[in-house]
Structure 1
Amino acid sequence: MNSRPDSATSATGRALSRGVLRQGGVRCAALCAVSTTATAAGLLLPALLGHTLDLLLARAPAARWLGCCAAVVLLLALLDGCAGVLSGTADAHATAWLRRQLTGHVLALGPRATARFGAGDLVARLVGNAAQAGTAPGALAALLGALAGPVGGVVALGLIDPWLAAVFLAGAPVLALLLRAFARDTSACVADYQRVQGRIAGALAEAVGGVRTIRAAAAEERETARILAPLPELSRAGHRMWRVQGRAAARAVTVAPLLNLGVLAVAGLLLARHRLSVGDVLAASRYAVLATGVGALVGQLAALARARAATGRLAEVRADPAPGHGTRRLPPGNGRLELRAVTARRGGRTVLDGVDLTVPGGTTLAVVGRSGAGKSLLAEVAGRLADPDEGEVSLDGVPLRDLARPELRRAVAYAFERPALLGTTVEDAIAFGPTAATPAAVRSAARRAHADDFVRRLPDGYATPVTDAPCSGGESQRLGLARAFAHGGRLLILDDALSSLDTVTEHHITRTLLAPDPGRTRLLIAHRASTAARADRVAWLDAGRVRAVGTHRELWREPEYRAVFGDGEGEVRDEEVRDEAGTESRGR
């Protein structure tokens, strides 16, 4: 799904990793200090035990040394608790930082993010993968502590007797090769596992979005099977991870006891020659175990591999550059919109192909065309929810790319076919925008969108929580229209925002919407002939190209244009519009 070069993704992954470690900051440093102290205490304990044993065997006073051993054990328990707290908080802060970074970037990418990665896969990355990537600081600090144990064990063996360290070091390269192979194989397996998880999440998100269709078709079992179809692949990837870890542990278990036996055998010989005491042999046996502590290393390497693979999946999203913004402001104007040689592609397919279109300021243009003609993408490009691959879009003579972001969002208002009602209350949902609309503006906009009556009938009126406001499709569209009306702007773009309204409500809203307004341009994505007939001009989009621009009546002479609306629908609607116009004229 990612079309960015591997080098860009890798560079982004390294930047994310550095950012995560910086977020750990003080906590990681404290965790390293705690881990190092715990390792030092763990290395001190065998020496204390060995010396205490020698004193006991010699029947010498050993109470003080027994107390020291007990104190070290208590210290290890305390340090272990501190390490757990520090690791948890460091991971939580790193995860929160990653989610903020990625969420902001996804929102900046806009519709392109979901088109490229899919909503479900994005959620899986932002939730599951971010949590795994956030464990990197704790895993790295723990790995440093885990490495200090074997290194310190070898040094301690050398201090007891150089021959003990020499015996161990003879087999150390084998352990190093095992760990290297484990880290390499684990990274590949974890990446496959996380990729399949993303596919399942994507399928689940699609099913949740279409749950009514699934139930109406009695296709629950079939959809469940579709969602879970990748489970065997997920199982194979999971089993591969366990096999890799199992093989590494088995090989380590094979090599480590041999090294321990070798160390103990040499220690026994040195004991027989009176070069070591019984306590030294006990200490040597414990240090040999610490030196061969591959189990801890395997666990931490596995955690780092999972974090690294998760960071790579986040980097795929982060490497996709968000659109930049300029610093220019709009001159005085009434919203003249121009598209020049605009070409836009999605999924390797050219959806808009060299579109040239001009919408005079203060007028209403309806864009019509068959399904797949590129109408919704044209609406996205016109207000810069998406950038064209080629060509330029300008508003009142200023290219949209050159506008400052606040200036652009204040100038362009949108209403959609399926508006997302964001905010705590209904009033919040209407006021939602670049700047919060005042309560008076919210109510005025609701009246213009013919939403005021049904909002006042809600349990708490405008203060009703959005989650407690049962809205039909038409009512949701009216709230979306109210939100667009509340924020003004010189360009209003409606992407089929009237499709769920009943005929009477649509008629009233359209009259309000299309009333003469020299200060605002309106671009309507229309599927109904009645909407097209009321617009000043109509742009007929066909296979990504503007086939013709004219009034609805002029274009109606073309059979293929009539076919866009279905047999007879456009003609009936057109007659209705002419009858309305005549009635209003007679009334005046």
Structure 2
Amino acid sequence: MTEHRTGAPAPAAGPGERTAPARRPVRDALAPVRLRLVALAFLLAVRISVGIALPALLATAVGAVLDGTGVRGPAALLAVVLAVGGLCEAAAGPLAASANATGTHRLRMLTIRHLLSLGPRSPHAVGDAVTQVVQSAPMAAGLPARAAESAISLLGSVAALAALWWTNWQAGLAFTLAMPLTVLIAQRFMKEAGRAQENYLGAQSRIADGLVAALTGVRTIRAAGTLATETDRVLEPLPELSAAGRAMWRTERDVVWRLGLLLPLTDVLVLAVAGLAVADGRLSAAGLLAVSGYLALASGMVDQIDVLLGIAQARAGARRLDAVFRHEPPAGGTAGSMPTDGAVRLRAVTVRRAGEPVLDQLDLDLPAGAAVALVGRTGAGKSVLAGLLGRLTDPDEGEISIGGVPVRDLPLDRLRTLVVHAFERPELYGRTVHEAISFGRPGISREDVVHAARAAQADRFVRRLPDGYDTPLDETPMSGGERQRLGLARALIRPALVHVLDDATSGLDTATEAEVSRSVTELLAGRTRLVVAHRAATAARCDLVAWLDGGRIRAFGPHGRLWANPEYRAVFGPAGAPGPLADRDPTKKEEERCRVEHR
């Protein structure tokens, strides 16, 4: 069992499970930048106010020139307003960039933390999760600034339209009558562009998923000579990606030529109406200049294709992030009492995958301080059962308790100290070997780290490294068995009531596995252990064996008693098949193999 799984469906909340309240990731990410967004909105409002004032001020200055009256005052006022507008323009850009950068950082951190908190429950594959963090987060973080710019621009356009009506109502009426068609075109563009962007991001995620999977199995691919086949598989979503990209460009092309045709026709119509008013003496020449300026500002409510496209992209990113945050991580309980012993009890536990039961109304008791081997054929649900104790997954039905306290009622941070897992393929974290073993317990001493490594039979190979326990992890080539031993040492160093060893010694040879088992037994004496076992000798070293078959416990008892059943022996494959040694104690057989290997 690996430590992190992706792509599995998230189980439904079980009876009585508390879930965290729904989150709004973009809103949470904006908390530190709200003041900057307020300042940005203020600057944009001032800038648009300057834009609205300019046509009137310019008309006044031009009228003063034409009338031969004093032009110094209107010109000075015009210069001051232009300077204010320029300063706002200069300050708004860096402020928007700063808000977007901070929002992107926050949103990425929230997304990463949420994905990690989902753990094995995450419905998102690795490539999709990476795409969410790298692409969707920065796109969504830009939504507030873009929305503020668009909203204030829209308000400015409405104010300019009102000023246009005030300056010449016929020109304002002509513009208003032409607007509905323009607005419909813009709305359709937003909808189609957003859909195309979501399809584009989805295809990118699938390519990323395939690439991650291929890189993980690159040795197998090269050994099998299937490079071309795997390349085709990774790039299978490429036509969909290309189609989504073409759809975006086609949508933008269509709206550009339509608006590019409609807006000039609207301008011509409005200016023609205003020109007739000038000819009839109902509007001055300076008033015509004001009409032209207000017309340009009023047209801005739809003549902002780049802004609309940016909003469509940001909304697509936000919707994809919402899909991530829609899956809530498990919420811990608030139990005041803590377990006093490691007795584990499972009652009527059912776990379903794709609608089919993996565990079916299963009952199991692990006595406090006992070592219990969990055996069963491949696919019997051993790792699923093992993950229930530490809530790596939750049952669809039933209850699990430790020391009489239901695990759902325990705070998650406390549960992590009560139940410790060691996995078949552990992931190692930290800068050095020491940090990999002490991961999660940064204050642990070197003596304790070495003690755990010795119990896991890792101390000898660690000391052969260039800097021993201080060797950087990325400079430490390790076999699968060596990684497994470090992962086991990491589990052993954590004091807990229950230790779950999920096939944690499968990568070791029989001699080393026997030594590790003896050391672990001594170190964890008195603690409850659930050991997922594939070897008969591993099961024989445990106090009891739980035989999992058909989603339920078929038999429970000492290994020696179960060994008399040929179906039980068959669970271990050829090693358990009946033969000359079938009725002998498997522990003694294992010791004989160890002596042969040592010789």
TM-score for the superposition, normalised by structure 1: 0.90
* SS in structure 2 of the partner of residue 148 of structure 1: helix
CA distance in 2, matches of 1:583, 1:458: 30
CA distance in 1, matches of 2:182, 2:32: 33
* SS in structure 2 of the partner of residue 394 of structure 1: strand
* SS in structure 1 of the partner of residue 365 of structure 2: strand
Deviation at 1:66, TM superposition (A): 5.6
My pick for the range that moved more, 503-512 or 556-565, is: 556-565
1:577 aligns with 2:587: yes
Of 120, 141, 147 in structure 2, the residue corresponding to residue 111 of structure 1 is 120
Q: Counterparts of 1:64-213 in structure 2 under 5 Å?
A: 72-113=81-122, 116-213=123-220
1:84 aligned partner, one-letter code: G
Q: Counterparts of 1:301-320 in structure 2 under 5 Å?
A: 301-320=308-327
1:202 aligned partner, one-letter code: D
CA distance in 2, matches of 1:553, 1:421: 36
* SS in structure 1 of the partner of residue 358 of structure 2: strand
- 8 Å CA contact retained: 1:21, 1:136: no
CA distance in 1, matches of 2:80, 2:309: 33
* SS in structure 1 of the partner of residue 522 of structure 2: coil
Query: Could you list the per-position Cα deviations for residues 238-266 of structure 1 after superposition, in whole angstroms to 9, with x for gaps in the alignment?
Result: 22223233323332222211210111112
Deviation at 1:196, TM superposition (A): 2.3
Query: Could you list the per-position Cα deviations for residues 351-388 of structure 1 after superposition, in whole angstroms to 9, with x for gaps in the alignment?
Result: 11122111112121111222211111111112221111
Match of 2:15 in 1: none
CA distance in 2, matches of 1:78, 1:323: 50
CA distance in 1, matches of 2:547, 2:10: 32
CA distance in 1, matches of 2:261, 2:419: 69
Q: Counterparts of 1:319-334 in structure 2 under 5 Å?
A: 319-328=326-335, 329-333=337-341
Change (3 A) 1:564 1:219: same
1:237 aligns with 2:244: yes
Deviation at 1:391, TM superposition (A): 0.8
* SS in structure 1 of the partner of residue 88 of structure 2: helix
1:577 aligned partner, one-letter code: T
* SS in structure 2 of the partner of residue 356 of structure 1: strand
Change (3 A) 1:372 1:286: same
CA distance in 1, matches of 2:446, 2:411: 27
- 8 Å CA contact retained: 1:406, 1:434: no
Deviation at 1:582, TM superposition (A): 9.2
* SS in structure 2 of the partner of residue 424 of structure 1: coil
Query: Could you list the per-position Cα deviations for residues 178-198 of structure 1 after superposition, in whole angstroms to 9, with x for gaps in the alignment?
Result: 223233333333332222222
Match of 1:496 in 2: 503
Query: Could you list the per-position Cα deviations for residues 430-484 of structure 1 after superposition, in whole angstroms to 9, with x for gaps in the alignment?
Result: 1112674332211211111121222222222222222222222111111111111
CA distance in 1, matches of 2:420, 2:168: 79
1:482 aligned partner, one-letter code: A
1:47 aligns with 2:56: yes
Change (3 A) 1:225 1:17: same
1:391 aligns with 2:404: no
* SS in structure 2 of the partner of residue 567 of structure 1: helix
Change (3 A) 1:517 1:181: closer
1:136 aligned partner, one-letter code: L
Deviation at 1:294, TM superposition (A): 4.7
- 8 Å CA contact retained: 2:421, 2:501: yes
- 8 Å CA contact retained: 1:252, 1:294: no
Match of 1:249 in 2: 256
* SS in structure 2 of the partner of residue 320 of structure 1: coil
TM-score for the superposition, normalised by structure 2: 0.88
My pick for the range that moved more, 73-82 or 517-526, is: 73-82
1:515 aligns with 2:522: yes
1:344 aligns with 2:354: no
Query: Could you list the per-position Cα deviations for residues 488-515 of structure 1 after superposition, in whole angstroms to 9, with x for gaps in the alignment?
Result: 2111111111111223221210111233
Change (3 A) 1:4 1:474: closer
Change (3 A) 1:214 1:68: farther
1:463 aligned partner, one-letter code: D
My pick for the range that moved more, 396-405 or 281-290, is: 281-290
Q: Counterparts of 1:481-560 in structure 2 under 5 Å?
A: 481-515=488-522, 517-560=524-567
Deviation at 1:143, TM superposition (A): 0.8
Change (3 A) 1:21 1:259: farther
1:281 aligns with 2:278: no
CA distance in 2, matches of 1:568, 1:418: 23
- 8 Å CA contact retained: 1:492, 1:522: yes
1:36 aligned partner, one-letter code: A
Change (3 A) 1:69 1:570: farther
CA distance in 1, matches of 2:418, 2:429: 20
Q: Counterparts of 1:22-41 in structure 2 under 5 Å?
A: 22-41=31-50
Of 485, 495, 517 in structure 2, the residue corresponding to residue 478 of structure 1 is 485
Change (3 A) 1:193 1:517: closer
CA distance in 1, matches of 2:458, 2:10: 44
Deviation at 1:111, TM superposition (A): 0.5
* SS in structure 2 of the partner of residue 514 of structure 1: helix
1:541 aligned partner, one-letter code: L
Match of 2:17 in 1: none
- 8 Å CA contact retained: 1:338, 1:357: yes
Query: Could you list the per-position Cα deviations for residues 295-352 of structure 1 after superposition, in whole angstroms to 9, with x for gaps in the alignment?
Result: 554433332232223222222222223222223343432x111211111122333211
1:226 aligns with 2:233: yes
Deviation at 1:401, TM superposition (A): 0.9
CA distance in 2, matches of 1:29, 1:394: 51
* SS in structure 2 of the partner of residue 358 of structure 1: strand
Change (3 A) 1:225 1:64: farther
- Gap regions ≥5 residues in structure 2: 1-6, 13-20, 595-599
Match of 1:364 in 2: 371
1:260 aligns with 2:267: yes
My pick for the range that moved more, 297-306 or 229-238, is: 297-306
Change (3 A) 1:89 1:407: same
Change (3 A) 1:252 1:419: same
CA distance in 2, matches of 1:418, 1:257: 66
Query: Could you list the per-position Cα deviations for residues 28-70 of structure 1 after superposition, in whole angstroms to 9, with x for gaps in the alignment?
Result: 1111111111112222333344444445556777577566656
Match of 1:467 in 2: 474
2:326 aligned partner, one-letter code: A
Change (3 A) 1:365 1:80: same
- 8 Å CA contact retained: 2:375, 2:534: yes
2:395 aligned partner, one-letter code: P
My pick for the range that moved more, 526-535 or 18-27, is: 18-27
2:88 aligned partner, one-letter code: L
CA distance in 2, matches of 1:12, 1:408: 23
CA RMSD of aligned residues (A): 2.9
2:289 aligned partner, one-letter code: L
Query: Could you list the per-position Cα deviations for residues 151-199 of structure 1 after superposition, in whole angstroms to 9, with x for gaps in the alignment?
Result: 2321332232222212211212222222232333333333322222222
Q: Among all aligned residue pairs of Structure 1 and Structure 2, give the percentage whose two residues are the same amino acid.
A: 43
CA distance in 2, matches of 1:304, 1:583: 68
My pick for the range that moved more, 132-141 or 101-110, is: 101-110
Match of 1:290 in 2: 297
Match of 2:16 in 1: none
Match of 2:361 in 1: 354
- 8 Å CA contact retained: 2:259, 2:303: no
CA distance in 1, matches of 2:524, 2:289: 93
My pick for the range that moved more, 408-417 or 154-163, is: 154-163
- 8 Å CA contact retained: 2:566, 2:577: no
CA distance in 1, matches of 2:395, 2:444: 31
* SS in structure 2 of the partner of residue 546 of structure 1: strand
